[in-house]
Chain A
Amino acid sequence: MSVSQAIAVDRPPPRARGWPRVRIIGYALVGLWSLFGIGIVAYLVHAWNADFFARYAPAYLQGLATTLSLVSVSMVAGAILSLPVAYGRMSKNRILSGLAYCYVYFFRGTPLLVQTYLVYYGIGSFRPELQTVGLWWFFREAFYCGVFAFSLNTAAYQAEILRGAIESVPRGQWEGAASLGLHKLQTLRKVIMPQAIIVALRPYGNELILMIKASAIVAIITVYDLMGNAKLAYAKSFDIQAYIWVAIVYLVLVEILRHGVEWIERRITIHLKR
């Protein structure tokens, strides 16, 4: 068999010509989407209201800043909190691992909205007790309550990500490092973590995106984040473009993050590609 023949064999089969049914359906669906997109753009142009924009655009920007700070603070606090939880989950001590399991099960098994209500309205209803302990200033602010609930929630998810990533590194790596005389912390830092991070990056990115999406919830407990400002703008103007704009902002934010994570993943796995 000559070289040209081998190449010809590997080529994928030629695409069907003409207009088979699936192609018509495909074009129809794409057409529908473009119609939808054009409709939205046309609506926004038609409903363009300089007054609306001038009044609410700064509020949206402020809301975006609130959303981003809420998410970043909760992500970091959750990451710190997830360390003991992940340690507990992997521990051989039955009590410790049981406690960590219950923590993770509770925060992953109940809706974030319920958890947020439980912190903001539930803990907030113990006002006299909180005042004697001196924590009322914290639970009085909806923003802090949101951060608190979100940190606890993401800590449970991040603990599972961390545990999964560390357990994905084969046991032989630990044994090899031990035989070289590295102690446990050194092994974790120099041998296990560099391999675990590659596994954990994508789940961490997904968790970040989920947090950004979930952060819209704090609008319900009166925090003026991006969604909160959209709600306010809608309540004042009864103009649906309030929600359309916020949807566009969220979509762009999420897409940027998603592609950013993919780019980082391509960069750090470059040595694994052949």
Chain B
Amino acid sequence: MPAQSIWTLLSWGPDGWSDDIASGVLVTVALALATLPIGLAIGFFVAFAKQHEEPALRLAANIYTTVFRGLPELVTLFLFFFGMPLLLQYVVRLFEPEATIDVNSFIAGMIVLALIFSSYASEVFLSAFRAIPKGQYEGGYAIGLSKWQTMRLVILPQLLRIAFPGLENCWLSLLKDTSLVSVVNLAETLRNAGVAARVTKHSFLFYSVAALVFLVLAILSSVATGYIQRSLGRREAR
């Protein structure tokens, strides 16, 4: 077999690996985008609990962030990937003794990344909560808005604007953390690049391609966030 040039290896189609890596990139982006809303929602509620005057609520939220920020991402991932099936199986077997449970690595990755992302995002939201003066709440109540309405119409728009730069950082680390899910056999960018590297023996080439993909994703997201930031800034009251 003649030595293949790197251009053949990087071509699209049966001889090249570009199509495989591209499908991996889609999985990476899908995983990150699927995690984002869940993580943001959990992060918001955890931050809300952390600044609440009820001590029990604060305690519960603080335990959450201590655990998920203290554990290495990989350990959390393995615990969930190997531990969750056991737990689920135990519960399901109470009702249906023959059942077996398999956890999809996409779902497991999504849950773990959401847990990690939300615990970091909650810190960002928390400092944004603290930056909003109390008068904003009082003003909301004074014009007759309910608690929920004040939160949605008065606090949340300001909160998002303050939290945005911090959330951007969280998003970038989420994007990078998706690569960890490759170790539980999710066919994302790094996994597919690794398969290509093993088959073709061009490890340096394909891992560089993977690194390049993540760089491009980071650049694209900073372009996108810059755009969002400008549109948020335009809506700011002057």
Contact = CB atoms under 8 A, between A and B. Distances in A.
Interface of A: 15, 20, 22-23, 25-27, 29-30, 32-33, 105-106, 109-115, 117-118, 121-126, 212-217, 219-220, 227, 230-231, 234, 240, 243-244, 246-247, 250-251, 254-255, 258
A123 B204 contact: yes
Interface string B191-219: 00010010001111001101100110011
Contact of B215 (A109, A240, A255): A109
Interface residues of B, number: 51
Given A220-B183, A247-B79, A255-B66, A117 B54 contact: no
Interface string B147-160: 00000000000000
Given A125-B204, A234-B82, A114 B210 contact: yes
Contacts of B49: 26, 29
B101 interface: no
Contact of A121 (B52, B56, B197): B197
Contact of A250 (B58, B71, B178): B71
12 contacts: A20-B54, A29-B61, A30-B63, A106-B211, A112-B176, A121-B204, A125-B203, A213-B71, A230-B78, A244-B83, A250-B72, A251-B70
Given A109-B218, A110-B215, A216 B74 contact: yes
A250 B215 contact: no
A33 B68 CA distance: 13
A212 B73 CA distance: 11
Nearest to B83: A240
B177 interface: yes
Contacts of B172: 109
Contacts of A114: 179, 190, 207, 210-211, 214
A109 B135 CA distance: 40
B214 A110 contact: yes
Nearest to A12: B53
A29 B73 contact: no
A213 B52 CA distance: 30
Contact of B204 (A33, A113, A122, A219): A122
B86 A117 contact: no
B55 interface: yes
A26 B67 contact: no
B60 interface: yes
A109 to B, nearest CB: 4
Contact of B75 (A111, A122, A243, A258): A243
A115 B208 CA distance: 9
Given A22-B54, A26-B60, A216 B75 contact: yes
Contact of A240 (B59, B64, B82, B179): B82
B183 A246 contact: no
Contact of B208 (A112, A122, A124, A216): A122
Interface of B: 49, 52-61, 63-64, 66-67, 69-76, 78-79, 82-83, 86, 172, 176-180, 182-183, 190, 194, 197, 201-204, 207-208, 210-211, 214-215, 218-219
Contacts of B83: 240, 243-244
Contacts of A247: 71, 75-76, 79
A100 B137 CA distance: 46
Given A33-B63, A114-B214, A126 B74 contact: no
Nearest to B178: A111
Given A122-B208, A243-B82, A29 B60 contact: yes
Please give me the 10 A-B residue pairs with the lowest Cβ-Cβ distance, nearest first. Answer: A26-B56, A29-B60, A26-B57, A122-B204, A111-B179, A216-B72, A213-B72, A121-B203, A111-B176, A109-B218
A49 B44 CA distance: 41
Given A126-B204, A216-B75, A220-B74, 10 more contacts: A23-B54, A26-B54, A27-B56, A29-B56, A29-B57, A115-B211, A121-B207, A216-B74, A230-B75, A230-B78
Contacts of A106: 211, 215
Contacts of B55: 26
B179 A122 contact: no
B207 A118 contact: yes
A251 B208 contact: no
Given A113-B182, A117-B190, A121-B197, A30 B59 contact: yes
Contacts of B76: 247
